[in-house]
Each structure stands twice: as C-alpha cells, then as structure tokens.
Amino acid sequence: MINPSNHLFGLDQPKITNLKFQQVHDILNHCSTGDILKIVELYTGEKIVDILSLNSQDFIRFVKWMNKQIENVNKIYKSLQSEEFDKSDMAYKNAGSEKLDKYKEKIVYYSIDRNPDSWDRIGEQPFNKVFTMMMIDKDMKDINKQYAKLMKANG
C-alpha cells in the first residue's frame, strides 16, 4: 500500500488552502479533465517534463495526498450552501441563478469588487483568506435573511 505524502521535489508541498485562490480554482477547473499531470503542474508550479522524471511511488504518494486536498476544498465549498432552503431561495433559483455558474470563480471576484481591474489581485490572495470572506458574506446573508423573517413575523 502506498501512503499519501505531500513531499515532492524535495519539499513539503503546502496544503491547498494555503495556495493562491486562483491557483486552487485552476486546479479545480482541471479536475474534470482527468489530466493528472496538468493538475500536479498547477499545484506544484513544476514543469510537466520534470514531473515525468519523478520516481513513480513519490508521484503516486503525492497524487493521493493532493486528491485528499481537493476533496477537502470541495467539502469546504459545500459548507457555503445554505442549511435551509426556503421560498426566497427557490425564487432565486427559478429566476435563473444557475446562469451565473458559467462564470466559475469570477463571480466570487465580482462579489468582492465589481472592478475587473482588481480581480487579478484577489486571485493572488491565499485561498483561505478569500474563503473566509466568502464565509462572512454567507453568514451575513443568513443573519439578514433571518432578521427579515423575524421582523415580518413580529409585524
């Protein structure tokens, strides 16, 4: 059995949440292609030719570790989903909110700053920093939604 390891190219590779926000999304966007070499290249910043020269067991250990990192990011994103799906959420969905899915991470940049000139700067921030902002926005939205319900119920 080959155990996962973050050690590759003589270094311990960082957790995915410590990578740049855009780098994480480039990795996630390539996961659907199944191009493991490209994903490792995006994760490590190393060239594919150098990745191909790695010891196969080291490569497999890293890929196993990296897959766990990617699973963790997917779990983290699921935590952004509302715990309660109500009429206003259904109305938003029925209004066509899925049209925004095509913008992928760009919609995050837009929600932080509508000026596209700042998006590269946002993409360079650590994933965990941008994600914290997203969690704050989610919690604020949930609080405001609950507050509006309470105000409506109390008249």
Q: What is the pLDDT of residues 11-69, one digit of tens each?
A: 999 999 999 999 999 999 999 999 999 999 999 999 999 999 999 999 999 999 999 99
Per the listing, tokens 């109305």 go with 91
Which pTM does this prediction carry? Answer: 0.87
What are the pLDDT digits (tens) for 143-155?
A: 998 898 899 898 7
- Are residues 74 and 11 part of one domain? yes
Cα(22)–Cα(67) distance, rounded to whole angstroms?
18
Give the CB-side neighbour count of residue 133, counting CA atoms within 13 A.
13
Residue 23 belongs to domain spanning? 7-78
Q: What total number of domains does the chain contain?
A: 2
Residues 60 and 92 in one domain: no
User: Does 63 lie in the same domain as 111?
Assistant: no
